[in-house]
Structure 1
Amino acid sequence: MKVETTAAISDAAHLCVDMQNIFAKGGVWETPWMERVLPVISNICARYPERTVFTRFVTPEKPEDRRGQWQAYFTKWQRATRGGLPPSALDLVPELARYSPPALVVDKPAYSAFFGSRLGHLLVERHVGTVVVSGAETDVCVLSTVLGAVDLGFRVVIVQDALCSSSDTGHDALMTMYRTRFSEQIELVSAEELFDLWHPE
């Protein structure tokens, strides 16, 4: 079942989640099919560079710099901390970094792009009513960001062919959940459908 989008998209920002070297081929958290969706995301960025906001998941210098269960998480993933990574690991992948500027970059310390970042204020200042979402990973940071956007009242449009995950099972489960549980608040489109619906002034 496909959720149909009929309304034109306006007052929108393209929110591209965590397309960083750490998730690319050879990265600590390699997402195998990032390469497959990268041309689609790059096409979206090329069409809407001034309306694109990239997020970066910025890990702590060491596990003790985070509280609670994040300490246990980064103790397990010590090599993903800034103390264990090459300096470029948290950068955007080069194919997308070239769009900034004019695209903006927002750093975040957790899964949701709205937690501990300036993203929410930035979107409000820019009078954004709709977020068009792409990026990685479907079932972790994209999920948390999408639900944060729903909680804040944004219209959420997910570009189905511009998402990637390291888990096919997780990706498929989340796409099903978006369709069946959030159809009033989350819309799913292909990139081609997006281009038909979104024509910024």
Structure 2
Amino acid sequence: MIPAKPVVEPITNAVHLCIDMQNIFARGSIWETPWMERVLPAIVGICDRYTARTVFTRFITPLHAADRPGRWRRYFTKWESATRSRLPAGQLDLVPALARFAPPATVIDKPGYSAFVGSTLAAFLNEKGVDTVAMTGAETDVCVLASVLDAVDLGFRVVIVEDALCSSSDAGHDALMTMYRTRFAEQIELVRAEELPELWREAA
């Protein structure tokens, strides 16, 4: 197996795609992701540098479980407390440290795990001439995973900021980072947040 290569080519025609950094995943919420506080400073730094080139996604739950098809209905029956009819106000908003960047950062809502399914994201990126996504956010092994694989299938260059991802599962996070390094050498590259400005010199 060939390890995923570190980023060596300059990053151009890119956006910072930040997945689902919402209050519902913050400390004390029903889908708490403990690592969020640890990676938030790195994500804030990226947003501060590339504000106008940042796209935030938000996972928008249904009003009621019955509003979603198939196994999603079963999922939201179990997690009825996450439906919009039950959630406290503001739970689906971006966490305050990131909400201040939008606008000019763009916010795109999605109904499922992938940022590209049931959303306007692919059309937005194509309209802007974007061919590279630098990805951060939550969770490494759920919504980030689904978004990464769809970005690969759509032909985007995918740069993962490895110290700006978080998960509620250490085992899941570690397994995915291993997969990215060993199975997607030609399509996924890894970089640390402190290295990004040297590789991606475009700034708003």
TM > 0.5: yes
Aligned length, in residue pairs? 201
Q: TM-score, normalised by structure 1?
A: 0.98
The CA distance in 2 between the partners of 1:198 and 1:12, in whole Å, is 8
Aligned residue runs from structure 1 range 53-132, under 5 A: 53-132=55-134
Letter in 2 for 1:21: N
Aligned residue runs from structure 1 range 140-159, under 5 A: 140-159=142-161
Superposed CA offset, 1:95-120 (max 9, x none): 00000000000000000000000000
Deviation at 1:4, TM superposition (A): 1.8
The CA distance in 1 between the partners of 2:199 and 2:14, in whole Å, is 11
Which segments of structure 1 move beyond 3 Å, counting only runs of 4 or more?
none
Aligned residue runs from structure 1 range 153-192, under 5 A: 153-192=155-194
Letter in 1 for 2:158: V
- The residue that corresponds to 2:10 in the other structure is 8
Residue ranges of structure 2 left out of the alignment (5+ in a row): none
Deviation at 1:88, TM superposition (A): 0.3
Percent identity between matched residues is 67
Superposed CA offset, 1:26-55 (max 9, x none): 111000110000000000000000000000
* Equivalent of residue 24 in structure 1, options 23, 26, 29: 26
Q: Give SS of 1:79's match.
A: helix
Superposed CA offset, 1:110-161 (max 9, x none): 0000000000000000000100000000000000000010010000000000
- The residue that corresponds to 1:42 in the other structure is 44
Deviation at 1:2, TM superposition (A): 6.4
Residue ranges of structure 1 left out of the alignment (5+ in a row): none
Structure with greater contact order relative to length (CA < 8 Å, sep ≥ 6): 2
User: Does the 8 Å CA contact 2:6/2:189 hold for their aligned counterparts?
Assistant: yes
Q: Give SS of 1:89's match.
A: coil
Superposed CA offset, 1:73-102 (max 9, x none): 000000001011012000000000000000
The CA distance in 2 between the partners of 1:54 and 1:161, in whole Å, is 17
